[in-house]
């Protein structure tokens, strides 16, 4: 019986799809449980392999073969950078090289779990506004393509002065009647082109700058990045990675090009003995004063590692609260916007009809 993710073409198995975040989290959980129970790394991998499917099964089969041939676990996983991040690999690398793999796997699991919970909260908060926005687009397209073209002959036959709102609606109706297909495919082409553009490497300086400076959402976006940076640094430092190496690894997982540049520029300063809080003060547009104060306090009180944990918790709570508040404020605005559109269409259509009916009486 074939798995849903697989198929067969002759004797060759075809695997569709990648490895989900949930599968990676489960893998780390299985590895930690096996090591903690006293199994060897190869036996633990075999156990994880027996419970995997699809792309993960293919990857683990290769990983087991490499480990059996003498490779480190992190070396085997590094063959698949598409599925295992630099952060993931270096936590395991540190554990293997320092003979503390069990502790590193536990820290990796906790970090991935927190990241999953944080992402889930953000998605949950954005679900309703996204649904309303899609409904607005669907309503507008439905009215434009199916309702307005049918009403166009009626209004054109009326021998009376039409309100401005009706004239505007008629202009849209006429445009969609004559160029409906062109408008539709133009929108599809625009969306496809825009999506292609924002995913290109050459566009990142522009798109990442816009994300950082867009009103309201820009500040929230920065806090999300700072929370992620603090969480990664805490996990790396707790696993025994040095501060300069942690910054180097953190740079590899930063999603914004300006934060990556900042990391790259401060690593030499840290190597020379400068404190991280002092180094980051050159980037007030990326790291706010609260972040720097909490970091400096951790450096002064010899709780540097724990300060990142506190920063991560603080910013994750703040992002969660601000997201909820923002979505709570946005929901009625979206409903009002929908009401205005529906009201405009209703007045534009019913106004002339009532006017003619009154003149007949």
What is the distance, to the nearest Å, from the Cα of residue 332 to the centroid of all Cα atoms in its chain?
Answer: 25
> pLDDT category, 358, cuts 50, 70, 90?
low
Could you tell me what percent of the chain has a pLDDT over 90? Answer: 5
For residues 4 and 239, which has the higher predicted lDDT (pLDDT)? 239
Compute the average pLDDT of residues 228-249. 85
Q: Which of 162-166, 193-197, 248-252 has the lowest mean pLDDT?
A: 162-166
Could you tell me what percent of the chain has a pLDDT over 70? Answer: 86
Distance between CA atoms of residues 17 and 10, nearest Å: 20
Compute the average pLDDT of residues 329-357. 74
In this predicted structure, what is the pLDDT of residue 299? 84
Compute the average pLDDT of residues 43-48. 89
Compute the average pLDDT of residues 91-99. 83
Distance between CA atoms of residues 250 and 260, nearest Å: 8
pLDDT in tens, 302-323: 778 888 888 988 988 888 888 8
Q: Given 3-state DSSP classes, what are the helix, strand and coil percentages for the chain, each rounded to the nearest 5? A: 80, 0, 20
Q: Which of 10-14, 29-33, 267-271 has the lowest mean pLDDT?
A: 10-14
In this predicted structure, what is the pLDDT of residue 178? 78
What is the distance, to the nearest Å, from the Cα of residue 169 to the centroid of all Cα atoms in its chain?
Answer: 38
> pLDDT category, 16, cuts 50, 70, 90?
very low
> pLDDT category, 190, cuts 50, 70, 90?
very high
| 6-84 against 111-361: fold identical | yes
For residues 243 and 166, which has the higher predicted lDDT (pLDDT)? 243
For residues 332 and 224, which has the higher predicted lDDT (pLDDT)? 224
CA-based nearest residue to 112, from 32, 25, 48: 25
Q: Which of 29-33, 112-116, 255-259, 296-300 has the lowest mean pLDDT?
A: 112-116
> pLDDT category, 258, cuts 50, 70, 90?
very high
> pLDDT category, 8, cuts 50, 70, 90?
very low
CATH topology of domain 6-84: Receptor-associated Protein (1.20.81)
Whether 162 and 352 have beta carbons less than 8 Å apart is answered as yes
Q: Which residues pair with 8 in a beta bridge?
A: 13
Whether 5 and 17 have beta carbons less than 8 Å apart is answered as yes
pLDDT of residue 108 exceeding 50: yes
In this predicted structure, what is the pLDDT of residue 206? 92
Residues near 242 by Cβ (< 8 Å), separated by ≥ 6?
A: none
In this predicted structure, what is the pLDDT of residue 192? 92
In this predicted structure, what is the pLDDT of residue 355? 64
The superfamily in CATH containing domain 111-361 is Type II secretion system (T2SS), domain F (1.20.81.30)
pLDDT of residue 25 exceeding 60: yes
Count of helices and strands (H, E) across the chain: 15, 2
Spans of all domains in the chain: 6-84, 111-361
pLDDT of residue 4 exceeding 50: no
pLDDT in tens, 131-152: 777 777 777 667 666 766 676 6
For residues 85 and 128, which has the higher predicted lDDT (pLDDT)? 85
pLDDT of residue 189 exceeding 90: yes
In this predicted structure, what is the pLDDT of residue 10? 44
For the chain, where are the E strands, in sequence order? 6-9, 12-15
In this predicted structure, what is the pLDDT of residue 158? 63
In this predicted structure, what is the pLDDT of residue 159? 63
In this predicted structure, what is the pLDDT of residue 316? 85
């Amino acid at each position: 019986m074939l798995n849903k993710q697989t198929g067969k073409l002759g004797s060759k198995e075809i695997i569709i799809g990648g490895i989900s975040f949930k599968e990676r989290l489960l893998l780390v959980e299985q590895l930690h449980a096996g090591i903690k129970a006293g199994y060897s790394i190869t036996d633990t991998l075999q156990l994880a392999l027996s419970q995997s499917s699809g792309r993960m099964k293919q990857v683990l089969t290769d990983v087991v073969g490499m480990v059996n041939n003498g490779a480190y676990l992190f070396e085997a996983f590094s063959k698949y950078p598409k599925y295992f991040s630099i952060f993931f690999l270096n936590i395991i690398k540190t554990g293997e090289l320092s003979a503390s793999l069990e502790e590193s796997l536990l820290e990796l699991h906790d970090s991935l779990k927190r990241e999953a919970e944080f992402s889930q909260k953000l998605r949950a908060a954005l679900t309703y506004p996204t649904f309303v926005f899609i409904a607005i687009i669907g309503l507008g397209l439905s009215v434009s393509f199916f309702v307005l073209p049918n009403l166009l002959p009626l209004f054109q036959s009326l021998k009376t002065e039409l309100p401005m709102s009706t004239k505007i609606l008629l202009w849209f109706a006429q445009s969609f009647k004559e160029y409906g297909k062109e408008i539709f495919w133009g929108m599809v082409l625009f969306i496809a082109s825009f999506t292609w553009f924002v995913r290109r490497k050459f566009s990142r300086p522009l798109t990442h700058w816009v994300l950082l400076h867009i009103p309201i959402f820009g500040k929230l976006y920065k806090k999300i990045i700072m929370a992620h940076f603090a969480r990664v640094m805490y996990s790396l430092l707790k696993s025994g990675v040095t501060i300069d190496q942690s910054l180097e690894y953190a740079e590899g997982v930063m999603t914004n090009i300006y934060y990556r540049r900042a990391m790259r520029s401060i690593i030499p300063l840290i190597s020379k003995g400068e404190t991280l809080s002092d180094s980051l003060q050159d980037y007030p547009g990326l790291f706010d004063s609260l972040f720097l104060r909490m970091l400096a306090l951790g450096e002064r009180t010899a709780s540097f590692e724990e300060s990142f944990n506190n920063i991560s918790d603080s910013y994750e709570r703040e992002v969660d609260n601000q997201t909820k508040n923002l979505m709570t404020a946005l929901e009625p605005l979206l409903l009002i916007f929908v009401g205005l559109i529906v009201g405009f269409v209703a007045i534009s259509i019913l106004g002339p009809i009532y006017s003619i009916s009154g003149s007949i009486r």
